[in-house]
Amino acid sequence: MSSPAEQLRRGSDTATRWRVRARAVAGELLGPRQGTTPLEPGWAAPVVLVWALGRLVNLALLLTAYAVSQIGHWPFGPDGETAPSFLRFLSGWDADRYGEIASVGYPVMLPVDAAGAVQMNNWAFLPLLPILERVLASATGMPWQLAGVVISLVASGAACVVLYALLRHVTSARASWWAVVLFSLGPLSFVFVLGYAESLFLLLIFSALLLAVRRRYLLIAPLGVAAAFTRPGALALALALGILLIGRWMLRTEDPLPRSEVVGLVVSGLATATAGLMWPVVADLVTGEPGAYVQTEMAWWVPFLGGGELVPLAPGLVMGWTWLGPLGVLIILGAVAAAFRWIASGPVRALGLEVVGFALSYTLYLFAVFLPTQSLPRLVLPLAPLLADDRLSRTRRRRAWSLAISIALQVVAVFLLWTLANP
pLDDT tens-place string over residues 292-325: 999 999 898 888 887 666 666 778 998 999 899 9
pLDDT for 10 equals 59
Greater pLDDT, 354 or 32: 354
pLDDT for 201 equals 98
pLDDT for 397 equals 96
| pLDDT tens digits for range 163-198 | 999 999 999 999 999 999 999 999 999 999 999 999
| pLDDT tens digits for range 124-139 | 999 999 999 999 999 9
Residue 29 in domain: no
What is the chain's length?
423
Q: What is the pTM of this model?
A: 0.95
pLDDT averaged over every residue in the chain: 93
288: pLDDT confidence band, cut at 50, 70 and 90? Answer: very high
Instruction: For residues 255-272, give the mean pLDDT.
Output: 97
Give the residue numbers spanning the domain of 77: 36-302+394-419
Residue 130 in domain: yes
pLDDT for 20 equals 86
Residue 366 in domain: no
| pLDDT tens digits for range 324-367 | 999 999 999 999 999 999 999 999 999 999 999 999 999 999 99
23: pLDDT confidence band, cut at 50, 70 and 90? Answer: confident
d(CA 1, CA 419): 68
d(CA 174, CA 160): 15
* Phi, psi (rounded to 5 degrees) for 41: -60, 140
Number of domains in the chain: 1
257, 249 Cβ separation under 8 angstroms = yes
Residue 345 in domain: no
pLDDT for 35 equals 86
Q: Is the pLDDT of residue 21 over 90?
A: no
d(CA 164, CA 131): 28
Residue 144 in domain: yes
pLDDT for 306 equals 75
pLDDT for 357 equals 98
d(CA 66, CA 76): 10
Q: Is the pLDDT of residue 250 over 90?
A: yes
Residue 9 in domain: no
pLDDT for 6 equals 62
Residue 285 in domain: yes
Residue 215 in domain: yes
Greater pLDDT, 167 or 77: 167
pLDDT for 2 equals 60
